[in-house]
Amino acid sequence: MKLSCQENLVKGSGLKEKVEKLESFGFEGVELWGNNLKERLDEVKLAFRGREIKVSTICSGYGGCLLDPNKEERDKAIRDIKELLSLCAELGAVGLVVVPIFGPPKLPDLTPIMNVLELEKRLLIELLNELGEYAHSQGTYILLEPLNRYETHFVRTLNDAKEILTATHGKGLKMMADFFHMNIEEADIPQSLSNNIEFISHIHLADSNRLLPGMGHTDFASSFKILKEKSYSGYMALECGIPGDPDELLPKTVKYLKSLI
């Protein structure tokens, strides 16, 4: 297991300084935001040049929506996601974190022919097959992320994501497990991780209150034990609030998490 941190969580005058700090704190990876990533590609490459710390993943950053009724919006999402997958390959990232839809459904309810959830599943599976093929050709992954019920109506548990992924061809397609969302949606986080470990290629870390691990009531020790038993060797990236000075709290969080690893 390798620790990563989203780039926006650390202080610094630029990405180079942030990367230097995160490496000194003990992180092995940095999760980059996909917004405007193509325009700052040279800055990114310079920031990581000659360093042990790597780009772990790219988080979001695409426009449109995969489950929009407007084909132009779906096509925009597909174009942007493919561009970001190419950048994943260029930067050596594991993959791109993708959320199918935020909020309520946008597609029509076609009951009695097909209800909206059935329609969303069929459409998403077809689009993931296309995007997965492209990700596979680039040597990277789409990382499907389940969210909690307050952020989406669709794909909220690891089992939901597995149901979608097992209906695809599987190439270039994995899931991401987020501890904050799992704290809300999963009845048993360690068991859910165990049941879905073959599909998990990335993890987001946040405590129950969406602050740094150790600041809420999430039992990370039990989950990390399962991850070790199942030989999970991927990145785990911080995506959370920091109620204080990151220069003080991030090194402490690394020490805490590595004590569990």
Q: Would you name the residues annotated as active-site residues?
A: 145, 239
Return d(Cα 219, Cα 207) in angstroms, integer. Answer: 9
Listed in sequence order, the residues at least 6 apart from 207 whose beta carbon sits closer than 8 Å to its beta carbon are 179, 180, 183, 213, 214, 215, 216, 217, 218, 240
Residue whose C-alpha is closest to residue 152's, from 194, 111, 124: 124
Return d(Cα 241, Cα 206) in angstroms, integer. Answer: 8
Query: CB under 8 Å, gap of 24 or more: what pairs does 249-254 form?
Result: 249/212, 250/5, 250/9, 250/10, 250/22, 250/25, 250/27, 251/25, 251/26, 253/212, 253/213, 253/214, 254/3, 254/25, 254/26, 254/27
70 burial via Cβ count (<10 Å: 0-12, 13-18, 19+)? exposed
Q: What are phi and psi of 205, to 5 degrees?
A: -110, 125
C-alpha distances (whole Å) from 244 to each of 29, 71, 93, 204, 241 are: 22, 44, 29, 20, 9
